[in-house]
Amino acid sequence: EAGVTQFPSHSVIEKGQTVTLRCDPISGHDNLYWYRRVMGKEIKFLLHFVKESKQDESGMPNNRFLAERTGGTYSTLKVQPAELEDSGVYFCASSRQGIWSGNTIYFGEGSWLTVV
């Protein structure tokens, strides 16, 4: 079974530009999550999709971030315009069911974003 796949693995963009990160969850996983880790800090929740619907987007930092999951398969996270503080690693994760006893979520390797 293929794992969670993220693209690109690394991206360097200038402040003010746009970047789109893509995530392909594990096949059959209805739940898809975005997290990010800025330099040396904790991994922070951004949002949670159930199929194509946003279940929880309480972690989205501001309206420069837009996540979509059309058709309930892959997801994209767009940052427009990018700011220096957006630099970090963006992790996508997926799970067959939600997080409760006996279940867990599986993370991709992350997309490293550097804004210069």
Partner 1 sequence: DQQVKQNSPSLSVQEGRISILNCDYTNSMFDYFLWYKKYPAEGPTFLISISSIKDKNEDGRFTVFLNKSAKHLSLHIVPSQPGDSAVYFCAASDAGGTSYGKLTFGQGTILTVHP
Total residues at interface with partner 1 (CB under 8 A): 29
CB closer to partner 1, 19 vs 108: 108
Applying CB under 8 A, does 106 fall inside the site for partner 1? Answer: yes
Residue numbers 40-99 binding partner 1 by CB under 8 A: 41-45, 48, 50, 55-56, 58-59, 91, 93, 95, 98-99
Applying CB under 8 A, does 100 fall inside the site for partner 1? Answer: yes
CB closer to partner 1, 59 vs 81: 59
> Segment contacting partner 1 (CB under 8 A): 15-23, 35-43, 68-76, 77-85?
35-43
**Strand ranges of the sheet holding 75-79, from the earlier edge strand across to the other edge:** 5-7, 19-24, 75-79, 65-68
CB closer to partner 1, 48 vs 79: 48
**If DSSP states are collapsed to H, E and C, what string results for the chain?**
CCCCEEECCEEEECCCCCEEEEEECCCCCCEEEEEEECCCCCEEEEEEEECCEEEECCCCCCCCEEEECHHHCCEEEEECCCCHHHCEEEEEEEECCCCCCCCCCEECCCEEEEEC
Nearest-approach distance from CB 81 to partner 1, in angstroms:
27
Which residue from 44, 56, 57, 58 is spatially nearest to 86, judged by alpha carbons? Answer: 44
Which residues of the shown chain bind partner 1 in the complex (CB under 8 A)? Answer: 4, 31, 33, 35, 41-45, 48, 50, 55-56, 58-59, 91, 93, 95, 98-101, 104-110
